[in-house]
Amino acid sequence: MNYTQVIIPRYDSQGRIRGKDQITGKVYSKKDMKIRPDIQQRLEKALNTGTYLVTYPRGTRHGFKFISKDEGNTFLESLGITVSKKQTIKTEESMSWKDATPPKNFYIDNLKWKFLVRNIEKGKNILMVGPSGCGKTDATFKAAESIGKEVTYFNLGATQDPRSTLIGNTFYNKDSGTYFSESLFVRAIQQENAVILLDELSRAHPEAWNILMTVLDPIQRYLRLDEKNDSPTIKVAKGVSFIATANIGTEYTSTRVLDRALLDRFTLFEMDILNEDQEYALLEYKFPKVNKDILLSLSAIIGDIRKEITSNNPKISNMISTRNTIEIAELLDDGFTIEEAAEVLIYPLFSDEGGNDSERIYIRQIVQKYMPSKSKTGTEHLFQVNFDDKVED
Ligand SMILES: Nc1ncnc2c1ncn2[C@@H]1O[C@H](COP(=O)(O)OP(=O)(O)O)[C@@H](O)[C@H]1O
Ligand SMILES: [Mg+2]
């Protein structure tokens, strides 16, 4: 068969479906997916079935079909194209956590990065904990990528039906009667050295936790397909590592959020919340065009807010995550002022209940503290008005 495109599907670091045609180099981006939702669907199917999506000439148009990775790689080789290592699973020799250093576009402590990469390499189960938006999902993708491992992504927080995601579905067909179609998860756990990301495990249906108990147990490591006749068990292959994420701080990690028995199956990995200097370093690297003083003010504001939330008796109940800061910096990059960015992206995160004692007023005061003084232009100081001042007649 002569294929005109061989598209390898993947998830990007945000868990969105992407694909790249190995023949022309065309990347199927977010924009393409909007125009061609059918391609997105096909790429999703290719991901779920562990195949490549190919096109071939059919009359004057193109036909689509799914072929195995082996067939795809052989075809590509016949054209002199080798599939980049990033997209296939690498073998042991070339991997090493020993000299792992964090990527430039991600801020993480050197030691933590090494620990994470080493755990993935050794096939450990890891539970990444930390507040939402602190880089748990992204760090997992980047760490696995750094040692050439492919991540199979499952968003457990988003699935309504954990049985069909983790085990599979039973279908009925007029000719063959009922049959069982196993899930991508079933296939993924049978691939040696696979990295399986169980994203948002903390938000998963308790049914998902039950199913995962034996899979994650270092001694059992099997999955029972109780949907299938005679309920066979599937063994988890050698070197498979499971990385789960939970939107919680370690202090809450106890049984309140996740089942104790489930927690015991993981090594905990706490994602740090960046301090003012670290956040600045990250922003400066990512947004070289934005004025440095503005980035310093932003980092100082965020730093103060984070100090408050981690204090003994915080006046606020919400945090600004690195995801939020990056979004704010994108606005600054587009020419918005800090005040404007704060108005649309910071204040709405804080309640305005309680009037002058509200969280929002408190945050406004922090922001105001770092704004250049406007007194020379005669503009009123919103929060520096001294209400005790006697008004002179
Ligand atoms: N420490 C960090 N360094 C660089 N980028 C970060 C960091 N933490 C978060 N981000 C960015 O913020 C966004 C959200 O991160 P994500 O991994 O989805 O957070 P989580 O999974 O913890 O909710 C991503 O775009 C990510 O690149
Ligand atoms: Mg996440």
User: What digits encode the pLDDT tens for the residues 26-63?
Assistant: 989 888 888 888 888 888 888 877 889 999 998 888 89
The answer to whether residue 77 scores a pLDDT higher than 70 is yes
Q: What is residue 6's predicted lDDT score, i.e. its pLDDT?
A: 95
Is residue 386 helix, strand or coil?
Answer: coil
Q: Tell me the residue length of the chain.
A: 393
DSSP state of 376: G
Write out the residue range of the structural domain in which residue 34 sits: 5-85
Q: Which two tokens stand for residue 386?
A: 């001294």
Q: Answer with the one of 85, 107, 139 that is the final residue of a domain.
A: 85
**Does ligand 1 have an atom closer than 6 angstroms to the CB of 346?**
no
The tally of domains found in the chain comes to 3
| Per-residue pLDDT, 226 | 82
Range with the poorest average pLDDT among 79-93, 302-316, 357-371: 79-93
Do 78 and 172 belong together in one domain?
no
**Is residue 118 a part of any domain in this protein?**
yes
- Provide the residues around ligand 2 (an ion) whose CB is within 5 A: 137
Residue 38, in any domain of the structure:
yes
**Are residues 252 and 366 both part of a single domain?**
no
Q: Which ligand is nearest to the Cα of residue 142, counting in written order?
A: 1
102 and 34: one domain? no
pLDDT band at 160 (very low <50, low <70, confident <90, very high): confident
The overall average pLDDT reported for the chain is 86
325 lines ligand 1 (CB under 6 A): no
Indicate if 74 and 204 belong to the same structural domain.
no
350 Cβ contact list (under 8 Å, min separation 6) = 316, 318, 358, 359, 360, 362, 363
Please say whether the dihedral angle defined by the alpha carbons of residues 101, 107, 112 and 117, taken in this order, is positive or negative. Answer: negative
CA distances from 4 to 9, 31, 188, 345, 376 (A): 16, 22, 28, 45, 67
Do 145 and 264 share a domain, yes or no?
Answer: yes
pLDDT band at residue 88 using 50, 70 and 90 as cut-offs: very low
pLDDT at 386: 47
pLDDT of 175 above 50? yes
| Mutate-to-test residue for ligand 1 from 136, 302, 323, highest number of ligand atoms within 8 A of CB | 323
What's the confidence (pLDDT) of residue 390?
46
**What helix, strand, coil percent values describe the chain, rounded to 5?**
40, 20, 40
Residue nearest to atom 5 of ligand 1 (CA): 106
Pick from 57, 85, 113: which residue ends a domain?
Answer: 85
Same domain, 122 and 232: yes
List the structure tokens of 375. 């007194």
CA 10 to chain CA centroid, Å, is 14
pLDDT-based confidence at residue 392 (cuts at 50, 70, 90): very low
Number of other CB atoms surrounding residue 238 within 10 Å: 10
In a shared domain, residues 17 and 161: no
For the chain, counts of helices (H) and of strands (E): 14, 14
Q: For the segment 368-388, what is each residue's pLDDT rounded down to a tens digit?
A: 999 876 554 444 444 444 444
Residue 90 lies in a domain: no
Please say whether the beta carbons of 187 and 181 come within 8 A.
no
56 with 19, same domain: the answer is yes
* pLDDT for the residue numbered 388: 46
In a domain, 30, yes or no: yes
Question: In CATH, what number is assigned to the domain containing residue 258?
Answer: 3.40.50.300
Closest-CA residue, ligand 1 atom 25, reads 323
Which atom of ligand 1 is least distant from the CA of 130?
22
Looking at residue 33, its pLDDT comes to 82
Q: Are both 201 and 123 inside the same structural domain?
A: yes
Q: What is the pLDDT of residues 188-203, one digit of tens each?
A: 999 988 999 999 998 8
Ligand nearest to the CA of 249: 1
Q: Is the CB of 73 under 6 A from ligand 1?
A: no
Task: Please state whether the predicted TM-score (pTM) of the whole model is above 0.85.
Answer: no
Spacing of C-alpha 264 from chain mean position: 23
Q: Whose CA is nearest to atom 9 of ligand 1?
A: 135
Determine the distance separating the centroid of ligand 1 and the alpha carbon of 281, expressed in angstroms: 15
b/e map 51-89, b = 16+ CB within 10 Å: bbbbbeeeeeeeebebbeeebbbebbeeeeeebeeeeee
Q: What is the pLDDT of residue 254?
A: 44
Q: Is residue 351 part of a domain?
A: yes
Q: Which of 35, 52, 85 is the last residue of a domain?
A: 85
In the predicted model, what is the mean pLDDT of residues 141-152?
89
Does 107 lie in the same domain as 25?
no
Distance CA 382, CA 140 (A): 44
- Residue 128 and residue 249: Cα distance in Å, rounded? 10
The pairing of strands 267-270 and 126-129 is: parallel
Nearest to 148, CA basis, from 104, 84, 239: 84
The dihedral region occupied by 221, where left means phi > 0, alpha psi between -120 and 50, and beta the remainder, is left
Average pLDDT over residues 273-298: 95
Note whether 181 and 208 are same-domain residues: yes
CA-based torsion, 338, 341, 343, 346: positive or negative: negative
Q: Is the dihedral of CA 102, 106, 109, 111 positive or negative?
A: negative
Q: Are 8 and 83 in contact (CB under 8 A)?
A: yes
281 found inside a domain: yes
Crossing angle of helices 292-309 and 322-333, rounded to 10°: 160
- Residue 255: pLDDT band (50, 70, 90) is very low
Ligand 1 atom 17: residue of nearest CA: 135
Q: Are residues 153 and 260 in the same domain?
A: yes
